[in-house]
Amino acid sequence: MTVAADERLAGTGLVRRLLIRPELGAVVGAVVVFAFFASRSETFRSVAGVANWLDPASTLGIMAVAIALLMIGGEFDLSAGVLTGTTGLITVILATRYGFAIPVAMLAALAAALLVGFLNGLIVVRTGLPSFIVTLGTFLMLQGINLGVTKALTGTVQVGGLRRAEGYEQARAALAGTVSLGGADFRVAILWWLGVTALATWVLMRTRAGNWIFAVGGDERAARAVGVPAGRTKIALFMTTAGAAWLVGSILALRFTSVQANAGLGQEFVYIIAAVIGGCLLTGGYGSAVGASIGAVIFGMADKGIVFAGWDADWFTFFLGAMLLLATLANRLVRRYAEEVRH
């Protein structure tokens, strides 16, 4: 007994298997962008140059990976950008104004972040409102809190002086320090980013939680019908995103020793863009953590490359928009091709 599926299953060649990976568009994009800037600027392709453009990629990458998980699970989080500011502000305020040791202040910030994530998730799961709207609400509320509290406490729009707080040196070494490699200083955040990407990939590919994420994003009804705890999975995803926002907020606060009240504002879409360049579908159920990371690398390269090439940095967003369109078009073409081959 055979079904018609026989041949097409046997015909899964290596090339095709590579082609249908969600991150393909991002990889091609990254290679093209690298080749482009490397040919324009010698500094760009030097070790110091690489260290330089990996820096913005790292913090963005941590967030993009978390957002990618959430998007695969079928939801959005617009509050993630501002939440990086909120967590940084909490840490700095507790450490400088109330005398908390930095690790304690950071734990308090983490608790606050997880609470925000939990509430985001709970509202989305319980009410069935689109997460785009729910997190837009939290986004605006957090933005107001950040500004209002900061101004009330300091009379200005920033809090600083983290350098003098207890435990600063150790915390900075762990989160915002540098590592020498090949004659250049690489940010420790890059290691965190690689770790987060590896962890997320492992969860997605090898754990039951990963299965559930793809299932609730791909077909929530089907997932529920076989007993997947869809609500808990989604809440956990929102909390993961909030946790990542805390990590990035802490890294940035320790690096600059001060936080602006509007920190992280506008970044929420950048995370989503990186995840989409990395192959995530807006409709959920499809994407990869590695892809989102590569999306972040493209951002980093474009961000610094434009400066290295000696151009006006104002062109950055134009470049990004073009990248977004090209990468998603490539992803779409490849998916369609992969689907046609099997017919």
Partner 1 sequence: MSAEPPLLLMRGIVKQFPGVRALDGVDLEVRRGEVHCLLGQNGAGKSTLIKILSGAHQPDEGVIALGGEEVRLTGPTAAIRLGISTIYQELDLVDGLSVAENVFLGHERARLGFVRQGEANRATRDLLTRLGHPEIRPSTEVGRLSPAAKQVVSMARALSHDTRLIIMDEPSAALAHDEVANLFRIVRELTSRGVAVVYISHRLEEIREIGDRVTVLKDGRTAAVGLPAKSTPTSEIVSLMTGRTVEYVFPPRRPRPATGSEVLRVTGLTVPGVVEDVSFTIGAGEIVGLAGLVGSGRSEIIEAVYGARRASGEVVLEGRPMGRGRTAGRGGTAAAVRLGMGLAPEERKAQALLLDQSVAHNITLAGLGRYSRFGWLDRRRESAEARELVETLDIRPGDPDRPIKTLSGGNQQKAVLARWLVGERRLLLLDEPTRGVDVGARAELYAVIRRLADEGIGVLLVSSEVPEVLGLADRVLVVREGRIIHRADAQDLDEHRVLDMIMEGSAL
Residues that bind partner 1 (CB under 8 A): 1-6, 8-10, 12, 206-212, 214-215, 217-219, 221-228, 285-286, 339, 342
**How far apart are the C-alpha atoms of 284 and 120, rounded to whole Å?**
18
Question: In terms of CB distance, is 164 or 342 closer to partner 1?
Answer: 342
Question: In terms of CB distance, is 53 or 212 closer to partner 1?
Answer: 212
**How far apart are the C-alpha atoms of 38 and 221, rounded to whole Å?**
48
* CA distances in angstroms from 252 to 31, 258, 283, listed in the order given: 28, 8, 31
Q: What's the closest the beta carbon of residue 342 comes to partner 1, in angstroms? A: 6
Residue 187 per-residue DSSP state: E
Q: What's the closest the beta carbon of residue 154 comes to partner 1, in angstroms? A: 44
Q: What's the closest the beta carbon of residue 317 comes to partner 1, in angstroms? A: 32
Only one residue has tokens 């959005």, namely: 76
Q: What's the closest the beta carbon of residue 212 comes to partner 1, in angstroms? A: 8
Question: In terms of CB distance, is 68 or 190 closer to partner 1?
Answer: 68
**How far apart are the C-alpha atoms of 324 and 269, rounded to whole Å?**
12
Q: What's the closest the beta carbon of residue 306 comes to partner 1, in angstroms? A: 36
**How far apart are the C-alpha atoms of 198 and 217, rounded to whole Å?**
21
Question: In terms of CB distance, is 203 or 307 closer to partner 1?
Answer: 203
Q: What's the closest the beta carbon of residue 90 comes to partner 1, in angstroms? A: 30
Question: In terms of CB distance, is 179 or 205 closer to partner 1?
Answer: 205
**How far apart are the C-alpha atoms of 282 and 269, rounded to whole Å?**
13
Question: In terms of CB distance, is 160 or 229 closer to partner 1?
Answer: 229
**How far apart are the C-alpha atoms of 17 and 336, rounded to whole Å?**
14
- Per DSSP, the three-state class of 281 is coil
**How far apart are the C-alpha atoms of 144 and 130, rounded to whole Å?**
22
